[in-house]
């Protein structure tokens, strides 16, 4: 059922992006390209999907998205600051009009008291500024956390794309 819901959201997002003549870019860490996969499952997505960056390592975040080493050291890869830098980096390293980023801890290990397993940060950049940034804690298995992150992220970027001010 979740896949049908995600597919419906992707179709709606594709239509909204097409209407605005927008293209989207993604910067994914914990979801490992899952959002890109869902988006590119939609026929015709080449009209509105520009590219995706799967930046799992800190080095890839720095090299491909120009995430700051200082920010990574100070805040950690799973943080609001890094999600924001990833979204801006994806926007600037692409031909997209809007960019979404996701970074988190999908588990089953890697969590802490401050950032338990299931902690995921999201950001959306548009016109060279972050217009949305939040975090969620999702329950369940690694697969559930990744799927929940995709669903949440797609819903957020869809709502922003449907906003007449974007």
Q: CB atoms < 10 A from the CB of 95, how many?
A: 9
- 147 Cβ contact partners less than 8 Å away, ≥ 6 residues apart: 2, 6, 34
For the chain, how many structural domains are there in total?
A: 1
- Closest-CA residue to 116 (of 107, 127, 126): 107
pLDDT of residue 2: 63
**CATH number of the domain where residue 156 is located:** 3.90.950.20
Owning domain of residue 50: 2-74+81-162
For residue 162, give Cα distances in angstroms to 101, 111, 132, 154: 18, 35, 14, 12
Of 71, 46, 49, whose CA–CA distance to 58 is shortest? 71
DSSP code for 111 = -
Per-residue pLDDT for the chain (166 aa), expressed as one digit of tens each? 467 899 999 999 999 999 999 999 999 999 999 999 999 999 999 999 999 999 999 999 999 999 999 999 999 999 999 999 999 999 999 999 999 999 999 999 999 999 999 999 999 999 999 999 999 999 999 999 999 999 999 999 999 999 998 9
Cis amide linkage into residue 64, ω under 30° from 0: no
How far apart are alpha carbons 25 and 19 in whole angstroms? 17
Residue 87 DSSP code: H
Its pTM surpasses 0.85:
yes
């Amino acid at each position: 059922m979740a896949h049908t819901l995600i597919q419906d959201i992707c179709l709606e997002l594709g239509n909204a992006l097409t209407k605005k003549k927008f293209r989207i870019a993604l910067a994914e860490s914990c979801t490992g390209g899952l959002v890109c996969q869902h988006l590119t499952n939609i026929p015709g997505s080449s009209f509105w999907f520009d590219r995706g960056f799967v930046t799992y390592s800190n080095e890839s975040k720095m090299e491909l998205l120009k995430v700051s080493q200082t920010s990574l050291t100070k805040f950690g890869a799973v943080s609001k600051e890094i999600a924001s830098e990833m979204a801006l980096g994806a926007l600037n390293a692409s031909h997209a009009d809007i960019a979404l980023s996701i970074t988190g801890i999908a588990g089953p290990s890697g969590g802490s008291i401050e950032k338990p397993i299931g902690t995921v940060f999201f950001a959306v950049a548009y016109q060279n500024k972050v217009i949305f940034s939040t975090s969620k804690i999702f329950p369940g298995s690694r697969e559930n956390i990744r799927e929940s992150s995709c669903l949440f992220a797609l819903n957020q970027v869809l709502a922003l794309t449907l906003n007449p001010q974007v």
